[in-house]
Homo-oligomer: A and B are copies of this chain.
């Protein structure tokens, strides 16, 4: 079965995988990476690819897809700029990786790659119109419209995290106020939990006082039935639901997939999000999309990048 290489270069780690043309991960490796110049990233990726075991000793795939945060010019294979990697400007990532790996390489925005993966091999499989949100330290998004990855006019589409839902909400680095990202990302959850736990005696309160509270802790406490944590996830889920309702009004989607670290909170987040979305969207209930957790987890980026490369390099024009 033919395979492609999938690579994901983020602000904190580099991932590589060997992915079948159907989206199955044959091998996956992750290495922490503190950021740096493009040559470092390429060396880290090449090291991982060297380590990947190929099934049955198969030769190294001749096609590679790489996902990278930021503004990507896919046609030229260039990362124009990346908020997570501020020193990167007009990096010819496709050429650099192609030379290092001996494989034709395609570059895509990481949120787009993740969306494509969930569409082809995950929770949005078969959907004509879908949004895939990745909620962690930020809120990334990718759109599948008319069965295809939608990139917009300059490769910026899907920045759902920077759509305003609360005009009087907190200021965001993007220049807006009350952006969805400022209201539902990991930082917002931690701040909300610290506020609610203030003076309390729970484990959450102790962690908050020690400055050691994470959104994952809050999600796990909610899953364990902790009332304060459940309240935080309910409030966060409702705010997420406002953002989802906006996507539904504008795009009339079949499915919205929620992934990323924050999504590990599961139903304590998704259930109030669905309720709020439904309350805000007029019309018949069959208009509403399914809101489901992502299926591919931390491999979404590499799977999507590999599948995009498979499609690009193996489809006759």
For A279, the closest partner residue in chain B by CB is B175
For A70, the closest partner residue in chain B by CB is B283
Contact in complex: B281, A155 (CB < 8 Å): no
Contact in complex: A166, B163 (CB < 8 Å): no
Task: Decide: A251 near B152, CB < 8 A? Known: A164-B165, A167-B169.
Answer: yes
Q: Is A6 an interface residue (CB 8 A)?
A: no
Among A27-35, A94-102, A207-215, A241-249, the stretch that binds chain B is: A241-249
For A, the interface residue count at a CB cutoff of 8 angstroms equals: 54
Task: Decide: A164 near B245, CB < 8 A? Known: A156-B287, A175-B280, A176-B280.
Answer: yes
Q: Is A145 an interface residue (CB 8 A)?
A: yes
Task: Decide: A167 near B252, CB < 8 A? Known: A145-B145, A174-B282.
Answer: no
Give the residues from 268 to 289 in chain A that come closer than 8 angstroms, CB to CB, to chain B: 279-284, 286-287, 289
Q: Which of B157, B174, B242, B253 contacts A252 (CB 8 A)?
A: B157
Give the residues from 130 to 188 in chain A that come closer than 8 angstroms, CB to CB, to chain B: 141, 143, 145-146, 148, 150-160, 162-169, 173-176, 178
A128 — which chain B residues lie within 8 A by C-beta? Answer: 153
Q: Is A17 an interface residue (CB 8 A)?
A: no
CB A314 to nearest CB in B, in angstroms, measures 22
Task: Decide: A250 near B163, CB < 8 A? Known: A152-B129, A153-B128.
Answer: yes
Contact in complex: B287, A154 (CB < 8 Å): yes
Contact in complex: B167, A282 (CB < 8 Å): no
Q: Is A254 an interface residue (CB 8 A)?
A: yes
Q: Is A71 an interface residue (CB 8 A)?
A: yes
* Between-chain CB contacts (< 8 Å), 9 pairs: A155-B252, A156-B249, A158-B252, A159-B250, A159-B252, A160-B249, A162-B282, A163-B250, A164-B242
